[in-house]
Amino acid sequence: MASLALAALYFLAIHIFVSGSPLRDRIVRRTGEQGFLGLFSVLSLIGIIWLARSYAAAPAIVLWASPIGFRPVALLLVLVAGLLVVVGLATPSPTATGGEGVLDGAEPATGILRITRHPFLMGVALWGLTHLVASGDAAGTILFGAMLVLGVVGPGLIDRKRQLRFGARWEPFARATSVLPFAAILQGRNRLVLSEIGVWRPAAACVVYASLLAAHAWLFGVNPMQF
């Protein structure tokens, strides 16, 4: 369990104190943008492998019972999380490296960005929260809690970096979008245009979701279809 806790702290630390801090800029000045991305990818891969191996080896310590009837709800919530993650990754965004060209478009935010300017991290947060509630054990609390923290803290770190980097170019995008899904739309700062999201992005998300659902028992030892 100690190894899992250290892996979770390491994973959060590289995202919050390396990628999400001024340290990133100092590293980029020495290595270049591509050099930093390569280095950070290696560090992230180390963290993911460490998390996975430590989680698999952690003892089963039950903290609470999964709520009765929550499994079907969890399947739906994970589908929504998957849509946010995959559609977000497939949509050019100024919150992602290399996506700053979107800031100069006719509309400050389109597609999934109208719903949330951080679809990937909102999906990670929802996935972490859902699994945290469903797992009910100590290892799951550490692993999924770390993902939830990353999904909640990450948007603020990214927004601060983008504001400092792009200044006035960032402002129209920030005003037209929200971190919390649908908040900008409900506040009248944007509108929902599902046609901009298209069909292939949600279809790809559903394929990924169905594939992971089918392989879940083999990969993780838990059958999510057993209610």
Question: Do residues 34 and 78 share a domain?
Answer: no
Question: Do residues 78 and 149 share a domain?
Answer: yes
- The first and second tokens of residue 93, run together, are 């965004």
Local structure of 66: helix, strand or coil = coil
Question: Do residues 39 and 88 share a domain?
Answer: no
- The first and second tokens of residue 123, run together, are 């999906």
Please, is 185 exposed, middle or buried when counting C-beta atoms within 10 Å of its C-beta (0-12, 13-18, 19+)?
middle
| pLDDT for 226 | 67
Give dist(CA 227, CA 219) in Å, integer: 19
Task: List all residues 6 or more positions away from 11 whose beta carbon is below 8 Å from its beta carbon.
Answer: 44, 47, 48, 50, 51, 146, 150
CB 137 within 8 A of CB 56: no
The residue from 9, 26, 58 where one domain ends is 58
DSSP 213: H
Domain count along the chain: 2
Q: What angle do CA 170, 84, 215 make, to 5 degrees?
A: 145
Per-residue pLDDT of the chain (227 residues; tens, 9 = 90+): 889 999 999 999 999 888 877 778 788 788 887 888 888 889 999 999 999 899 988 888 988 888 888 889 999 999 999 999 999 999 999 998 888 888 888 888 999 999 999 999 999 999 999 999 998 899 999 999 999 999 999 999 999 999 988 999 999 999 999 999 999 999 999 999 999 999 999 999 999 999 998 888 787 777 777 65
Query: Looking at the chain, how many residues does it have?
Result: 227
- The first and second tokens of residue 184, run together, are 């900008």
CB 74 within 8 A of CB 227: no
DSSP 16: I
Residue-range definition of the domain harbouring residue 29: 1-58
| pLDDT for 105 | 82
Question: Do residues 86 and 179 share a domain?
Answer: yes
Give dist(CA 218, CA 121) in Å, integer: 26
Residue 227 within any structural domain of the chain? no
Per DSSP, what are the bridge partners of residue 137? Answer: 62
Question: Do residues 206 and 142 share a domain?
Answer: yes
Give dist(CA 39, CA 27) in Å, integer: 10
Amino acid sitting at position 89: L
Question: Do residues 83 and 138 share a domain?
Answer: yes
